[in-house]
Chains A and B, each alone.
Chain A
Amino acid sequence: MMRIECPWCGGRDETEFHYGGEAHIMRPENPDALSDEAWADYLFMRANPKGVHAERWMHAQGCRRWFNVLRHTVSHEVVAVYPMGTPRPDLPETGA
């Protein structure tokens, strides 16, 4: 069971949250100008790292607010929690 630190409600079990996929995916300003490849890249292609992944979560059984999480995909360690609309924070030096 993962523990996620909701920015409003504090630490809760992962079963209280909904996962919202990869964070920081911007809709292109002008989709009509894109090639099919570039549009498909926006629609379907997602990062799948073995390591720290930026993703969106929503506290469904709590305040129902969305926020971003940096999660390590191997250890499930939640490295950082930060608000929607802010850039991905630099990783702290862990030496891991």
Chain B
Amino acid sequence: MAELREIDGLRLTILRGGGARFQAAVTGALGFELPEVPNTVAGCALWLGPDEWLVVSDMDMSEALEAALEGEHRAIVDVSDARAVLELSGADAPDVLASSCRLDLRALESGCCAQTGLARVPLLLEPREGGVWRFYVGRSFAAYTRAWLEDAMALQSISASP
């Protein structure tokens, strides 16, 4: 069994910058240190690149970050409307994902994230506690991604039945 749902209302902010002062200011604003290890999650920040993170929150963090980073070289972009957030859960979720994602999913555990492709759609994949797989995908790709995963779930349920 696998279940797919869309998560609404999350605020997504892309944060770019680097250096000790930048890190200290962000730590002050967010209350945790940004992950420096590639493809990991710390607090509510996901590593996207050596100078790039995605901050996921229930409230808009861009103003707090702008205030904390004034004068620093940075980029702060609210991408809440640009990305759709989907969650796939259930015991068969890895099999459903594996139908179109070429990553070794067993190597991904919660606390990691990965940017990869799913059925040729670029997406950010975040395994979460309780076997939940969260995707951040371009809004315009969301319907396609949903349709693809629902199809994979239907096939999975057929092949899993005796």
Is A77 on the interface with B (CB-CB < 8 A)?
Answer: no
Is residue B39 within 8 Å, beta carbon to beta carbon, of the partner chain?
yes
Chain A to chain B contacts (Cβ below 8 Å), 5 pairs? A8-B50, A15-B117, A16-B117, A60-B122, A62-B116
Q: How large is the interface on A (under 10, 10 to 19, 20 to 34, 35 or more residues)?
A: 10 to 19
- Check B115–A62 contact: CB distance below 8 A: yes
A38 beta carbon closer than 8 Å to chain B: no
Q: Is the interface of B mostly helix, strand, loop or mixed?
A: strand
Q: Mark A1-33, 1 if CB is under 8 A from B, else 0.
A: 000000011101101100000000000000000
Contacts A63-B38, A64-B49; is A9 near B117 (CB within 8 Å)?
Answer: no
A73 in contact (CB, < 8 A): no
CB distance from B52 to the nearest CB of A (A): 8
Which residues of B does A touch, CB under 8 Å?
38-39, 48-50, 52, 102-103, 114-117, 120, 122
What chain B residues lie within 8 Å of A9 (beta carbons)?
38-39, 114-115
A60's closest neighbor in chain B, by CB?
Answer: B122
Cα–Cα, bound, A8→B52 (Å): 12
